[in-house]
Amino acid sequence: MQIAETTFEDVLALIDARIAAGADIWELVGDAAEQEESSIDERRWRQCDLAARVAKRYGGDAIGEFAKRANIPKNRAKEYRTMGAFYFEREARADFLGDNPTVTYSHMRSAARVRLDMKAITDKDRQRAYGVLAFGSVRGWSSDQTARFVGRWRLRTKLSKPRPKPVEVARPIAMQDGPVLDLRGIEWLAEALADYDDSEIVTVTITKPRA
């Protein structure tokens, strides 16, 4: 069934009729959900393009006024500004999405986190993000899988950097083979792990320093 050629109300009516008949609705629901999400993504990208241009013309502080005018939370407006700046070339973005129709806004939001410098966006960051997206696209990754991949990449990258002088901190880490462990005095590790959701299990190898 071509979802785009009918109304959402017609789709719901057909789904309800199939439910009443005890028929399978999975494919129909999936097609409808995909179509609706695609429409949402199109509107999101328009907001991203607008927010990025507001920031470019008036500076980052203007994003608060943009949020009020658009009637959206300021944090969301900031996200739109960042996404619009990161994927600023609309033609390149459209070409990529056309070639990778399973990639969504959520995928691209996760991929944009490959940049480690939050104050600047480079072409290398964009190339790396598109590389991650293409890599995940051919493997059918969900947005959650993309986010986990980027999170692990960020963790490895941060752990490979020179370690600053430790500062007294404490962060619980769920170990795969043991109880929760409190790490103290390892600020660089706490910062790296901050990218992960609390629900994720992170395996960490700790070498006890010499006395």
> In this model, does residue 182 exceed pLDDT 50?
no
- The arithmetic mean of pLDDT across residues 81-104, rounded, is 92
The 3-state DSSP class for residue 148 equals helix
Residue 113 burial class via C-beta count within 10 angstroms: exposed 0-12, middle 13-18, buried 19 and up: buried
pTM value > 0.75:
no
11 and 62 share a domain?
A: yes
10 and 74 share a domain?
A: yes
188 and 204 share a domain?
A: yes
Using alpha carbons, select from 32, 31, 39 the residue that is nearest to residue 105. 39
The whole domain housing 189 covers 164-211
82 and 95 share a domain?
A: no
141 and 199 share a domain?
A: no
94 and 152 share a domain?
A: yes
pLDDT above 90 as % of the chain: 37
Answer with the residue of higher pLDDT: 36 or 109. 109
In whole angstroms, what is the distance from residue 55 CA to residue 101 CA?
A: 29
3 and 73 share a domain?
A: yes
Answer with the residue of higher pLDDT: 143 or 176. 143
User: Which domain-ending residue is among 67, 86, 105?
Assistant: 86
The string of pLDDT tens digits covering residues 136-162 is 998 899 999 999 999 888 887 776 655
140 and 210 share a domain?
A: no
The reported pLDDT for the residue numbered 156 is 79
80 and 5 share a domain?
A: yes
17 and 94 share a domain?
A: no
User: Which domain-ending residue is among 71, 86, 101?
Assistant: 86
Read off the tokens for 187: 């600020």
91 and 148 share a domain?
A: yes
The reported pLDDT for the residue numbered 178 is 41
In whole angstroms, what is the distance from residue 189 CA to residue 209 CA?
A: 15
User: Which domain-ending residue is among 86, 119, 149?
Assistant: 86
The string of pLDDT tens digits covering residues 58-89 is 888 889 999 999 888 999 999 999 999 999 99
27 and 77 share a domain?
A: yes
Number of domains in the chain: 3
